[in-house]
Structure 1
Amino acid sequence: MIHYARIYSFYNSLALKLLRIGIFIWLLALIYSSLSFKFSLTTSSSNIPILFLSIFLMWEIFFRFKVIRISPLVLVKDNDGSNIYNSFTLEALSIFTKSVSSIDIIKTLLHKPTIIFILQKAGFMEKDMHLIEISKGSMANLAFENCRNINSKYVTTMDIFAAYVLLTEDRSQLMFNKELKKEELINILYWAKNTNLQEENNSPLQIAFEGEGMGEGWVTGWTLETSKHVTDITKDALSKKPMFLGREEQYREAIEALSRNKSVLLVGEPGSGRRSLVNALAFESFTGRIKGSLYHQRFYQVLVDSLLAGIQNQGQLEERLNNIVSEIAHSGNVIVFIPNFENILGSSTFNTDLSGALIPYMEKGIIKIIASITPGSYGKFVEPKHSLASVFEIIKLEEPDKDSAFRMLLRKTPEIEKNSKIAISYKAIVSVSNLAGKYLQDRVMPGDGVRLLEDTANAVLLSGRKIIEAQDVTDKVEAKSKIAVGAPKEEERNLLLHLENELSKYVVGQKDAVFGVSEALRRLRTGLNDKEKPISFLFLGPTGVGKTRTAKALSSIYFKGENKMIRFDMSEYSTEESVRRFLGGLTGANGITDAVREHPFSLILLDEFEKSSPKIIDLFLQVLDDGRLTDNMSRTVSFTDTIIIATSNAASEYIREEVVKKKAVDDNFQKNLLEILQEKGVFRPELLNRFDGIIVFKPLGKEEVLQIVGLMLDDLSRKLLEKDISVNFDEKITEKIAKEGFDEQFGARPLARFIQNNIEDLLAQKMLKEEIRRGNKVFVSANDANIITVAVS
């Protein structure tokens, strides 16, 4: 191989290239001159230059289509490391043989299109490259190891360049300055090698005929009736070569099952690659790469709405179905694809079950069907019907792991770039990988990532730009999901840093609660929280001490309105029958999953949580642990971007009694409180341990009550100021409200009612009598007889 590399290097040197061009021009000139002087073509004077030109062209053809297409001797995976150069491509090895130093190698590589691709995707500029001398051997060894780690066939020039960047990073800081890690450069290398395949797959030229031969379709039966109710998906598959990276095992299982005349049921969530796998089968079958009974098959997708159109009764439907099955069976080269298989199994969409009519044909292998269905629908419609499940080969497509899904995105990116005519940066793909789950909650990777990338490309194209950056992806996700996923901007940073001060304007006497909630929100927005679960709190304390008020204040200040809060009175969900209604996914009932699906970035308030049905509390064991909940329609909803606050009045008497005794509300106090809750069977230990914080709200003292009254009166003043009426309240009226409106059992809640009945009603009457008008100044107080007085000026 080393000899071929030297020949390749010598033959592609500048001097020899110029010499070859000169020889070609000289031979053409000789032939032209011979013809110009009208020498006979049979004479020796014209035959000689033609002979040499023929020899020259044959050598050039031989060199181009044989020599430079020679594959390395050993695949990387089969190389034991004793001679790693046996796994180098001819181009990579030739650069090593002709270059004296590593700097010479890099200077040569920087002008190659494949290396320019890596530079662009990594955000490197050629001027950023620091030419640092290192050992050629260490470059070769690291390039070989990187290839082995990403399961490449051979070591290419791209691997050599990536190895150089990694080995010089300590001195160049090139990746550090671009905020790239080693793993990310390896991903860019993987991307480059799968986009620029020629060097690694430069095998000898072979002639291959793809597709059916002329008239081959005439030997199969016509499908005139079938064509009315199907669409040909082979054409779609041929327009772009489908990929099934990470689905090789499922692909092999599907081929084996169909080869045995057994139908296939693909079970997976939307976005898991079910359709891509079918398209891959259609493509490989049409091109003749699948032999045997799957050679040159036609793949048709059933249009269920067309199939059922005009049908009056079950008899007509079975007659139409029998005609279609007869045509397919006679044709001998049709495989039927039925997406959303539950649609013909009695789901609410079409309310028609065709399984009984299809089972006999599938049992005998008369027709071959590929169907797709979600795991939830599979459990509901297929598993209970043993006769239906038995005629299928069940193939499950689980969501791929993060690394595999990311590499699927990298493989899909060139197609998106080509279609949208927009370049995509590596950081943008990283952003897609991290945020895709928040963009389309009803889909999984890689499908939701591809959709996000395509939608972002369209948005960037409309903006007139030519490259997608990470911020473009963030903006798209935030616009659609209403989830704050980007780094906090200046206004939000300032709010987060001073959130305690803002909350304290609305919540009085509960410093621990205000601090705990503020800290949690800061962790959430800086990415320091557990990303697999929501932030959650249990607020414990007597009625009317600010538990609900704290949640409302947070929703108003941070989530821009109390109406952004998802609130449930859990006393309404205490029975077993109410569990389904609370869960959601039912027609006419707006449960918790429905609310979170619509507002994934929100605050959830569960008032009087201890009154919930035990089954609902069991559900929250899952929610608080892994951040997911499945509704009645078997759809999984993510709670990872929510803040859950559960309130409870349980053990409020214990809290009140201990505070009266001047006991400090410290860790020991909380430990005793939780023991009481467990002893009384209010909450189980496994639930309490799942909350991020358990906060005790203390009973309100006189000073706190006066502050709350002041806040309530300030609210009333603001309402009247909107009507151009200025209102002031003195200390006498404040103390009167605090004394007469406060109730130790119900806390601050009766205060609002007291103000409403005794002050708002009085002011309303005076406004209707026009005793108070726009522009007036109103002074509210209490006289010596403790009677409320209103002075107007």
Structure 2
Amino acid sequence: EECTACRILRQFGFTDKEAESYLVTVSDRNTGRVLVSPVTRKIIVRAEELAEKDDALCGSIHILLSACLVRTSLAAKILAGHKIDYDRILSVAEGIKNYDPEPKQVAMPKKTDVHAQNTPISEIESFGEFLTEKARKNELEPFFGREKVLERILRVLSRKNKNNPMLVGESGVGKTAVVEGLAQLAVGRSAPDFLRNKEIFSLNVGSLLSGTRYRGDLEEKVGTLLKNLRGKNVILFIDEAHVLLSGGGSDQNVTLSSLLKPALCGDIPVVGATTFDEYTRYIERDPAFERRFTKVIVPEMTIDETNELILRKKAGLEKHFGLSIDKKAATLATDLSVRYLSDGFLPDKAIDLTEEAFAKAKAEQKKKVTEEDVRYVLSERTGIPVNKLTIEERKRALQIEEELKKRVMGQPEAIDKTASAIRRTYAGLKDEERPYSFLFIGPTGVGKTETAKTLAEVLFGNENELIRFDMSEFSEKNSVAKLIGSPPGYVGYEEGGRLTEAVRKKPYSVLLLDEIEKADASVYSLLLQLLDDGRLTDAKGKTVDFSHVIVIMTGNIGVKNRSKNKGSVGFITAEKDDKEGVFSELKSILPPEFINRINNIIIFDDLSKEILPSIANKLLERIKRTLLHERGIELDVSKSVLTYLADRGYDKEYGARPLRRLIEREIEDELSRYLLETDPKNCSLTITLCGNKPQIRKKRRPKSHACGNQRKKLSPR
């Protein structure tokens, strides 16, 4: 109550009750909580600047004077309502300074110095920041690779009227970096005459919109901004410029664009930045606003430009993280991001990868960022093992057939062709713009789908990386909308397409299109673009990259017309007459241009009876793993049982599926009954053939491992 500011206010007729009434109003407006708003912070900062100017401690007089200078504050409006301005406060303060009870080191502000601080530029600092000031302090990133774009911006800015460039480019291509380069040029010695001594102010649109709850608030803020910018050496930069057409009053009749249009005719040079989508969606819909800007395209950086930019940023990153990185590791981020990160743009995605590699090495307390750090970070983001191929991994790539033959039996030549194609991918010889595609043709139950599942597990380590579609669901013409999304106005538009959304979430996966011949012809037309260009555009206009997807289509086309002469075990070597029969029916169902875009057409043969015991043993492996994991029971199946299952379950027309059903009926049903009745644990069981029927026997084991139950014969059903 005895501070200098209180005594000054009393000189102007302010009473304690009147001051408290304003405090209550502010408290009610803020739901009873005391909040420090950005304007309040601005008042405090200005008060400290005033005190620092006088080499004194900050006192209440400085806060009162600062409130007058920050004209957007509520305190300034209250003081103006009582006809109290900066000069009157200073005059009264001069008369009572000798009686100031505050510490002596709190000096009175000097009138001339304070007015020097009260410039129009300082009043708009709450709406953004000056990029030129940051450039003088070397706080901006080094500028490189955008000289042509910067030259075009300078030509537009030097015009007399409509000197407003609009930077349009994808997210992450460096639109803001171009403006930062403009700020560095403005403070440099090589600045053009018209740019010299100009300030570049980056507007924070959110600060203009914040607090504009009542009619007239937005107009007042924009008016203050334009008043202080008009006629000054200031270039206004507005990032995300499309917000100007979508932000404003609650009724949306008044937007920022309508308030800024008069100033865009040459009074204030404005540089805007937005994306292609937002430019089309918002700015092109307002021709009056669009014609005030000159469109400047900002293309994606090339690989060489990105590498040079990262090397220029290398010193700053090393200083920030306290680590070092060699040139190969720095440029590797660009190569890997181009190859594997299809959802971003250079240089942003390469810089992100580099910085994350720095962060990983820092967390692990390393002294240097290596190529392996960069590869590991990319593997975490994509789920793809892109680590440098070791000797063991090269052997695995060379022996990929063995991985497939462990699960897919009876199709050696099909596996060899598939493995050869995958090795080309490992070696980097595949066309990076197109997905690799297969068409598996053969009878049902011969291993076509199982090959696709195994391939997903071998390549990506998990069967869940398989995206599967049953094409019988897309047998109608209008069903193509399920794949890429419904058009606007139709049900399901907001959900997106099933195919495009699945690949967007898992860009590195195996795509299985089961029974492709059952799809409608419009689906084939859609897949043409996928196989040829490696991309699809969904109903929302978003492009999805398929270049890292392995496309596998299966079908039963031409099976009935194939030759009955089976010369080899399991797989037909595709004699001329057999191929002609298959391709004849294939061309009658699938369009020729669609067939021509498939990389490999592989024919699966009927399963031979000799291979069925091995398939039966493989199907029983799942039961063995379950018993061992849940009950500690080791299950052994004799060869006679496997032969019995192969004889009973062989059906040339339906492949291995009848065998699976026979195992469920003859083995799983009776085994489940035995387990429920005896509840054995930690023992060994064997299934042998007794009287043309499988029989469960308990192996004799040490007493500590005995089941304590007698064996039980399987009764015929």
Q: Could you tell me how far 1:547 is from its partner in structure 2?
A: 1.0
| Secondary structure at 2:120 match in 1 | coil
1:234 is aligned, of 123, 132, 152, to 132
Asked if the contact 1:487/1:526 (under 8 Å) is kept, the reply is: no
1:506-655 matches, within 5 Å, as 506-573=407-474, 579=480, 581-583=482-484, 591-612=498-519, 616-631=523-538, 634-655=541-562
Structure 1 residue aligned with 2:401? 500
Task: Verify: 1:783 aligned to 2:691, yes or no.
Answer: yes
Establish whether residue 221 from structure 1 lines up as the match of residue 120 from structure 2: yes
1:748 and 2:647 matched: no
Distance 2:275 2:455 in 1: 38
Residue by residue, what CA displacement relative to the aligned partner does 1:697-731 show, whole Å, maximum 9, x if unpaired?
Answer: 12223223443223212332332233233334445
- What one-letter code is carried by the residue in structure 2 that aligns with 1:259? S
TM superposition shift of 1:277? 0.3
Q: 1:285 to 1:531 in 2, by over 3 A?
A: same
Q: Is the 8 A contact 2:208 2:222 kept in 1?
A: no
TM-score, normalised relative to structure 2: 0.69
Match of 2:440, SS? strand
Aligned residue in 1 for 2:705 = none
Q: CA deviation at 1:536?
A: 2.4
One-letter amino acid of the structure 2 residue matched with residue 608 of structure 1: E
Output the CA distance in 2 between the equivalents of 1:606 and 1:237. 55
Asked if 1:727 is matched to 2:635, the reply is yes
Measured in 2, the distance between the counterparts of 1:217 and 1:750 equals 93
The residue that corresponds to 2:226 in the other structure is 326
Tell me how far apart the structure 2 counterparts of residues 403 and 331 of structure 1 sit (CA, whole Å): 42
Alignment of 1:696 onto 2:603? yes
Shift of 1:605: 2.2
Specify the SS of the correspondent of 1:644.
strand
Q: Give the TM-score of the pair, scaled to structure 1.
A: 0.63
* Contact 1:242 1:283 (C-alpha < 8 Å) held by counterparts: no
**1: CA distance, partners of 2:458 / 2:416:** 15
1:341-360 mapped onto 2 (5 Å cutoff): 341-343=241-243, 345=245, 354=255, 357=258, 360=261
Q: RMSD over aligned Cα, in angstroms?
A: 3.9
Q: Is the 8 A contact 1:383 1:389 kept in 2?
A: yes
In the aligned structure 2, how far is the partner of 1:650 from the partner of 1:354?
61
CA contact (8 A) 2:686 2:697 kept: yes
1:267 and 2:168 matched: yes
Q: Residues 581 and 540 of structure 1: is their aligned pair in 2 closer, same or farther, counting only changes over 3 Å?
A: same
Change beyond 3 A, Cα 1:652–1:417:
same
Does the CA contact (< 8 Å) of 1:221 and 1:330 recur in 2? no
CA distance in 2, matches of 1:355, 1:573: 48
| Identity level (%) | 30
- How far apart in 1 are the matches of 2:313 and 2:336? 17
Task: Name the counterpart of 2:670.
Answer: 762
Correspondent of 1:674 among 580, 583, 591: 583
Q: 1:338 aligns with which of 238, 243, 251?
A: 238
Change (3 A) 1:574 1:328: farther
Kindly tell me: are residues 229 and 632 of structure 1, through their superposed partners in 2, closer, same or farther at Cα, counting changes over 3 Å? farther
Please point out which of 299, 309, 318 is paired with 1:408.
309
> Does the C-alpha gap of structure 1 residues 463 and 342 become closer, same or farther in structure 2, counting only changes over 3 Å?
same
Alignment check: 8 A CA contact 2:471 2:516 kept? yes
Q: Determine if contact 2:617/2:642 at 8 Å carries over to the other structure.
A: yes
| Alpha-carbon separation, structure 1, partners of 2:192 and 2:587 | 66
3-state secondary structure, aligned to 2:460: coil
Please list every run of 5 or more consecutive structure 1 residues that lacks an aligned counterpart in the other structure: 1-213
Secondary structure (helix, strand or coil) at the match of 2:552 reads strand
Structure 1 residue 685: deviation in Å? 3.1
Distance 1:664 1:458 in 2: 54
TM-aligned CA deviation for residue 506 of structure 1? 0.9
Task: Give me the whole-angstrom Cα distance separating, in 2, the residues matched to 1:442 and 1:236.
Answer: 32
**Structure-2 separation of matches of 1:610 and 1:317:** 64
The whole-number CA distance in structure 2 between the counterparts of 1:666 and 1:331 is 85
The alpha-carbon deviation at position 515 of structure 1 amounts to 1.2
Check 1:292–1:581 CA distance in 2 against 1; reply closer, same or farther (3 A cut).
farther
- Residue 679 of structure 1 and its aligned partner are, at CA, apart by 2.9
Counterparts in 2 of 1:376 and 1:648: CA distance versus 1, 3 Å: farther
Superposed counterparts of 1:134-533, under 5 Å: 221-222=120-121, 224=123, 226-238=124-136, 239-240=138-139, 242-260=141-159, 261-287=162-188, 289-291=190-192, 294-312=195-213, 315=215, 319=219, 322-323=222-223, 326-327=226-227, 329-330=229-230, 332-343=232-243, 345=245, 354=255, 357=258, 360-361=261-262, 364-383=265-284, 385-437=286-338, 440-533=341-434
SS of residue paired to 1:653:
coil
Aligned partner of 1:695: which letter? I
CA-to-aligned-CA distance 1:412-444 (integer Å, 9 cap, x gap):
334434444444323223312311235654332
Shift of 1:278: 0.9
Residues 426/514 of structure 1: CA separation in 2 closer, same or farther (3 Å cut): same
Does the aligned pair in 1 maintain the 2:130–2:201 contact within 8 Å? yes
* 1:324 to partner: Cα distance: 5.5
1:773, distance to aligned residue in structure 2 (A): 4.8
Q: Is the 8 A contact 1:220 1:331 kept in 2?
A: no
Q: CA deviation at 1:267?
A: 1.9
Cα distance change on mapping 1:439 and 1:711 into 2, 3 Å: closer
Aligned equivalents of 2:483 and 2:499: distance in 1?
Answer: 6
**CA shift at 1:380, angstroms?**
3.9
Instruction: Please say if residues 457 and 468 of structure 1, whose CA atoms lie closer than 8 Å, have aligned partners that are also in contact.
Output: yes
Question: CA, structure 1 residues 550+424, in 2 after alignment: closer, same or farther (shift >3 Å)?
Answer: same
Offset of residue 732 of structure 1: 5.6
> Is 2:616 aligned against 1:709?
yes
CA contact (8 A) 2:616 2:659 kept: yes
CA distance in 2, matches of 1:731, 1:257: 84
CA contact (8 A) 2:482 2:497 kept: yes
In structure 2, how many angstroms separate the alpha carbons of the residues matched to 1:216 and 1:538? 80
Seen in structure 2, the aligned counterparts of structure 1 residues 319 and 362 have a Cα distance that, compared at 3 Å, is closer
Q: Which amino acid aligns with 1:403?
A: D
Distance 2:530 2:280 in 1: 22
SS in 1 for 2:669: helix
The CA distance in 2 between the partners of 1:229 and 1:582, in whole Å, is: 46
Are the counterparts in 2 of residues 441 and 597 from structure 1 also a CA contact under 8 Å?
no
SS for the counterpart of 1:523 is helix
State the alpha-carbon separation in 1 of the partners of residues 210 and 218 from structure 2.
Answer: 13
